[in-house]
Structure 1
Amino acid sequence: TTPRVETLRFQNSAEMLVASPVQPQPLMYERRFLPVDDDDDDALQAVLLASLCESATSASAEEVATSAATQAQEALFDSCTVPDRVSKPVSLSDYAVESGLDVEAHRALRALEEGPLHLKLCRIRGDGHCLFRAISASLVLVAAWGGNAALMALRSHLLSLNEACAAGVVEALFHLLGRTAADASGAADALNDEQRSDAAVGALRRCAVGHMQQHAERFRLCCDGEDLKSYCARMALMTGEGDTFSPAYGGHSEVVALSEALQVRVEIVDCSGTAAKSTVPTYRLGEHLPMHAPVIFLLRRGLHYHLMLPAQTEGERMAGNDAE
C-alpha cells in the first residue's frame, strides 16, 4: 500500500511532507500458537514421565550388568593360583612345548635334558626379581640336594669370597640353607618364604650394584643411556611407593658383576629370539674360573630368567646330619 501523505503547517506557513507510520502486516505463513488446554498438558506430562521411567530402568539394568561382570572378574582373579617364587623341577622338553618355542629351541633344550647333566627347569616367578632369585636358588638347591659334599663345597666357597659387597649375599644364603644338613633339606621351602627369599634377592642386588660402582670405568657405559649413579640406585631398590612400582630387571651387566663378585660361572641359554635361526645362543661367563667353582644355568626369554638345575642322584640322606 502507498503511504498516506499528510501536510503539516507551521506558524511561518511553511509546509513539510511527512510519511505516516506503516502498520505491519502479518506474515503470510506465520504460525499462531494457541494456548494448550489441560488435556494436552496432562498428555505431555505423561509422555515425559514414561520417558524418565524408561531411562531409569535402562540405567538400572546397565548397573546390574556391570556389577555382574565385576563379580565374575573378581571370582576369576580369586581362582588364580599365585605361582611359587621357585617351582619344583620339570621337564625342559615339556616347557618347550607349553611355551610354543621354535624347532631349534626344542632341539637345544632336549639336548640339555638328555645330556650329561640332565638339566631340569625350575620356573621363577615373574616379579621383576627373577634373575637374582634364580641365582640364589641355583646356589642353594645344588648344595642342598647334592648331599653333604656339595653342601660343604658351597660353604667353603662362600667363606673364601673377598669382596666386601659379597658379605651380605653370604649371610643371606646361609640363612636359606640353615646351619645343619637337616636345615638344608628345607631349602626349597625357604626359597619360597617371602622374607628369606627376598632377603637373598636384595643382597644380590646390592652386591651387583656395589661391584659395578667399585669398577665404574668398566660399567659406566652399560647403563642404557643412564648415568651409573642413578642406574645403580634404581637397580638396588626392592620396593617403592604406590602400586605402580616395578623393580628394575637385572640383565647382562648384573650377571657379569655377580659372576665376578661371587666367583661363579654362568651359562645362559637364550630362547628369546622369534626369528628363524640355526642355533640357540648360549652365553658363558667366568670360564676362566676353576672347574670346581659353582655353575649357574639360566634360561632366558626376553627380560625373564628361569633356572635350570642338574638332575641330582639320590645322594646322601641329609636329615639328621650335623655337617657345618
Structure 2
Amino acid sequence: MTHADSSPLARPDFGPALAAARAAAGPQHYPAGTLYMVATPIGNLADVSLRALHVLQLADAIACEDTRHTQQLLRAYGIDGKPLLPLHEHNEAEAAQAVLERLRQGQRVAYVSDAGTPAVSDPGARLVAAVRAAGLAASPLPGASSVTAALSVAGAVAGSDATGFVFAGFLPAKSGERATAVQRLAAEPRAVVLLEAPHRMAALAGALAPLGERPVTLARELTKQFEQVATLPCAGLATWLAADPQRLRGEFALVLHPAAAAVQNADEHDRVLLTLLAELPLKQAVKLATELTGAPRNALYERALGLKADNAAPKD
C-alpha cells in the first residue's frame, strides 16, 4: 500500500532484533507446507514484528511483489540467501501455481507485498484463494497497515451512531467512473478509507470536492520522517494540496468521515423507501424517494436493493 523507506539513514542495526525474534517467536510451531502472509513496514523499518523476522528467516522461499524491493528490505534486516519468487498483479495467477508446488513439497513459503499487509489493495488475494482451493494452509502474520494506521488518528467515528468503516481502497482512474464512485459514497453513514498514489491525488481531491464540508483526514507518508496528518473539509482539499508542492509527495491514506446528514437521516430514508416500495416498482420508488429526501439517487437505489433483499429473505 505504501512503500517502506529504504534510505540508509532509516536502517538501524537489526542484529539484536533477529536474536530477539528467534528467542520470542522460535518456540511457536510453524507448520511445514504453509503459506505465511507477512505484513511488512509501510515506512519505518522498525515497525516490523518479531514473528515476521523469524518467519522470513525460517521460510524456504519468499514470494514477493517486487524482488528488488524485497531484497533491499531483507538486507536491511540482515536476512540473506532466500530464494525470491516474483508474484505481482500481472502474473499472480501463474506464479501462484509455483507457490502451490512448493507447499505440496512441504516447504514454508512467506509472501510479502512491497509494504503493509498483503492482499489488502495489494497482490496476494488470488494467491491465498488458490492455496485455500487446493486444500493447503495459509497463516497470517499481522502488522503494519496504512488502513488501520490512518483510522487510528482520524477520530472519524467519534460522536457518531455509525459503527465500523468501509474500505474502498483505490477509486477508479477514469474521471467519470471515479465521480460515480464518490457519488455512491456520499450517503455512506460510516467512515470510508481510501488509498491514493501521489500522481492521482489532485484528481481525487477534485472528485471529493462536491462533498463540501464533509471532513476528510489525509494521512501522508505514514510512519516516515515527514509524516503528515490533516483533517479538513472535502471542498478545501485541492486548495490545501496546492498550497505546498511537498504535500503531493508520498503515498496517501484518506479517511472520509461519516456524512452527518446521512447518519441522521438513514432511518427516515429507509422509512420512505419501504413505503414507496410497497406500492411502486423499484426504479419509480427510488426516483420519487430522491425527490422527497434530496439524497443521492445511486445511494438510495443501492439501499432499496438491500431492503428488497432483506424483505425477500426467509424469516427464522
TM-score bracket relative to the smaller structure = under 0.3
Q: TM-score, normalised by structure 2?
A: 0.24
Q: Whose Rg is larger?
A: 1
Q: State the TM-score, normalizing by the size of structure 1.
A: 0.24
